[in-house]
Structure 1
Amino acid sequence: MHATPAHRPLTLENAPALAELFAAVEAVDGTDEHYDAEDLADELGDPRLELPHDSAGVWSSGELVGYAKATGLRDATDVHLVYVEGAVRPDARGQGVGAGLVTWQVTRAAQLHRERFPDLPGEAHIQIHAPNTAKRDLYQGAGFQARRWFFDMRRPLDGGEIPVTAPAGGLRVVPFTAAYEEATRLAHNEAFRDHWGHTPTAAERWRHGTTGARSFRPDVSFLALDGDEVAGYLISHEYDAETAMTGIRECWIAQLGTRPGWRGSGVATALLTTCLRAGQEQGFRRAGLNVDGANATGALSLYERCGFRTLHTWIGYVKPL
């Protein structure tokens, strides 16, 4: 690379270039995360983002060699969170591109915090793949500190038939239907109310990233109902880019939660085993999920009991704003 890099915000039309950048990063960093242009167009279309202000791209010889985003939440309780992310193409590393993008992220995160919740404490958050020590060093140098550990877990589905459990107290596990979309969103906000880093999910964001995403799979998503009330829920996604790259259909369990009043009645286990059996019957070869290692509800041990094993570790880094 010899040309002086150009810096400009990303647009929706940059999704193919961003997909090429992600593929080059994945080939070296090995996170087992694969995205196509449509996936990234969805992410760039996040209603919380204002791309002209909340994104940055670094271009060299007409190619995208680095990017960054800062997503400031529009709701806050005790702390206002801004999520940052970014990457540099491997052949452009070591030239100051990453350091410049981190500086941009910190600056933009601080601006978003001042604009939206100046009277609350603010934090910038990022998850970094644990083996990527160079990226960790870069963010630590900018004042980020390791705060939490998260695990990508997988479970094969091509073995013997998976036994399904039932919840106690007469609760029913049923397939997800659109009639329960709003009740499920509210159940999710209640179930995760006391979890680290959780901010209530607004209806627009829920539709965009969860039930309205092209990756959403209602046929492997389930609800636990007490009468007509949502006691728990499991939302699954399937990513076409992942299947195309690996040749393996993976049922990704994006959301699993039980409302506090129904904990201890086997709701989560019943939802999970029902999903795994359905995925098995529908031709998925494995299931995957991401879990907070310090989740107070014991989610990690639940997943291990159901046959999931850790494949990747991610570290949540935080910087006060």
Structure 2
Amino acid sequence: MHATPTRRPLTLEDTPALAELFAAVEATDGTDEHYDAEDLADELGDPHVELPHDSVGVWSGGELIGYARATGLPDATDVHLVYVEGAVRPDARGQGVGTDLVKWQVTRAAQLHHERFPDLPGEAHIQIHAPNTAKRDLYEGAGFQARRWFFDMRRPLDGDGIPVPAPAGGLRVVPFTAAYDDATRSAHNEAFRENWGHTPATADRWRHGATGARSFRPDVSFLALDGDEVAGYLLSHEYDAETAMTGVRECWIDRLGTRPAWRGSGVATALLTSCLRAGQEQGYRRAGLNVDSADANGALSLYERCGFRTLHTWTGYVRPL
């Protein structure tokens, strides 16, 4: 006889149970995403998530069988975005757990939006792995619509050395240093200002998810400088859980951008190839990244020219709030 499921907010002490849930989901869904408890503690520690209000776990007999989270961004321009996520253990699917969690997400996302930016339009966003048709149907049934497609791309780093062309105009490509941290954040906000779904990164969110993250690797991260000004940047991460699970060191290119005034100067190509060569020299066996397939600045074609190929497709779903 199965225990009746119970719900309560997640706490940081729940990260081992959440890691077990993620492992069970990955074994069935095959997204090539691997997390350990420390990774999940980092995620739950997002400075803009209040776990008692912004998370929920579903428990059965002491086992976490489902979870959901909502993150309302602290800033907005034309639209206020709330990102939602969630998962259900494969052996607990088909019992209404996912339906209840999506209802919770929509309710909490609407609350966050109306608390923070009631005078702006609001949207709930989620990315769904394209082969997961059951999850797609669940969210479409709750009013989400497909709006954008994103590709996980990878490139092997074995073989011959990777040439690094210099950018035009006397720009220098140098390793990332903390002295340029806030200037890099500002450059990122400017570079992605017109991109779909972008909200400017605050200093605390930047430190948490970018240069202050446990996974951040400054030795495979680079800046393009014009004098002392950041014209472009590339920030890389390495995830210990991924390496432990696959036995392959992967350099994950998390952020790459060029400020508008320097586009067309070869900045992105120089940064990317500098990262790939450094990764190759430091023993990484592959590089990976995620890209918006409709990026207006030609990011997809750049990555394809540099040897990246698509491995997974994710669909960005949106629901008005």
2:126 maps to 126
Q: Which amino acid aligns with 1:275?
A: C
Displacement, 1:31? Answer: 0.1
Stretches (4+) displaced over 3 A: none
> What is the distance in 2 between the residues matched to 1:230 and 1:294?
25
Consecutive unaligned residues in structure 1, runs of 5 or more? none
> What is the distance in 1 between the residues matched to 2:236 and 2:74?
25
- SS for the counterpart of 2:210 is helix
1:281 maps to 281
Deviations 1:230-271 (A, max 9, x none): 000000000000000000000000000000000000000000
> What is the distance in 2 between the residues matched to 1:84 and 1:160?
42
Displacement, 1:33? Answer: 0.2
- SS for the counterpart of 2:35 is coil
Q: Which amino acid aligns with 1:259?
A: R
> What is the distance in 1 between the residues matched to 2:165 and 2:310?
23
Displacement, 1:160? Answer: 1.3
1:59 maps to 59
1:319 maps to 319
Structure-to-structure mapping, 1:282-301, within 5 angstroms: 282-301=282-301
- SS for the counterpart of 1:83 is strand
The total of aligned residue pairs comes to 321
- SS for the counterpart of 1:211 is coil
1:247 maps to 247
Displacement, 1:193? Answer: 0.2
> What is the distance in 1 between the residues matched to 2:114 and 2:278?
47
Deviations 1:267-316 (A, max 9, x none): 00000000000000000000000000000000000000000000000000
TM-score under structure 2 normalisation?
Answer: 1.00
1:171 maps to 171
Deviations 1:132-153 (A, max 9, x none): 0000000000000000000000
Q: Which amino acid aligns with 1:92?
A: A
Q: Which amino acid aligns with 1:33?
A: E
RMSD of aligned residue pairs (Cα, Å)? 0.5
Q: Which amino acid aligns with 1:131?
A: P
1:235 maps to 235
1:97 aligns with 2:97: yes
Displacement, 1:161? Answer: 1.1
> What is the distance in 2 between the residues matched to 1:37 and 1:103?
27
> What is the distance in 1 between the residues matched to 2:189 and 2:209?
15
> What is the distance in 2 between the residues matched to 1:66 and 1:111?
21
2:303 maps to 303
> What is the distance in 2 between the residues matched to 1:260 and 1:29?
39
> What is the distance in 2 between the residues matched to 1:302 and 1:158?
20
> What is the distance in 2 between the residues matched to 1:273 and 1:295?
20
> What is the distance in 1 between the residues matched to 2:162 and 2:125?
37
Deviations 1:64-98 (A, max 9, x none): 00000000011000000000000000000000000
1:108 aligns with 2:108: yes
